Amino acid sequence: MTISDRFLLSVDAGIRTGLALYNSSGELKWYRSHNLGSIASLRKVAYSMLKSIDGLEYIVVEGGGSITNVWINAAQKLKITTIKTDAGEWRKELLYLKEHPNSQKAKESAIKLSRQIIDSSEAPAYNTPTHDAAEAILIGKWGCKKVKWIQSISLHH
C-alpha cells in the first residue's frame, strides 16, 4: 500500500448524512450528502459503504446517539480506526468564536469554508454542498490534522 492508498472518511452523522473522503495528503477526493430516511436504512448502508473504500484507515464521526453508533460499530467490524467528535470540538479550530454558539451562522460558515477546500482540490464540484456535506468536509480536514496527515488548516473567512 502506498501513501496515496490511505484514506480518511468524515461523517456528519444523521438521517441526512454528510460524507467527505480525504487521502493521506489531506486532499479532498469527494463529498456528498445522503438522506437515508431511517436508522434501519443507515444500518444497511454504513457497513457496505465503509467496506467499499479500499485503504480506508480512519473514520471521523460527528454526532451522538444511535446514528453515530451505527457508523462506529460498522468501522470497528472492519478494523477501521474511529475518531468521535462533536461540533464544539472541531468548530473551535475552524470557525471564529462568534460562530460557534449560533448553529445557523456555523452552518453558513461551513458552506463558505468548504467551498475553499473544494476549489483547491481535485474533487468533483457538482454543486454547492449542503450544510451536512460542508460540515463533513470541515470535519475531514480537522481529522486529517488530528491524525497528523497535515500540519495545519488554513482557511479564510
Query: What pLDDT shows up at residue 99?
Result: 61
| Listed range (27-36, 57-66, 97-106) with the worst mean pLDDT | 97-106
Give the up-direction half-sphere exposure of residue 74: CA atoms within 13 A in the CB hemisphere: 24
Residues 118/129, Cβ–Cβ less than 8 Å: yes
Query: What pLDDT shows up at residue 23?
Result: 96
Q: Which residue has the higher pLDDT, 130 or 7?
A: 7
Residues 146/84, Cβ–Cβ less than 8 Å: no
Query: What pLDDT shows up at residue 75?
Result: 97
Q: Report the mean per-residue pLDDT for the chain.
A: 88
Helices (H), 34-155: 39-51, 65-77, 87-94, 103-119, 131-146
pLDDT exceeds 50 at position 145: yes
Query: What pLDDT shows up at residue 110?
Result: 87
| Listed range (19-33, 35-49, 69-83, 102-116) with the worst mean pLDDT | 102-116
**pLDDT bracket for residue 1 (50, 70, 90):** very low
Mean pLDDT along residues 75-97 = 88
Homologous superfamily of domain range 3-146: Ribonuclease H-like superfamily/Ribonuclease H (3.30.420.10)
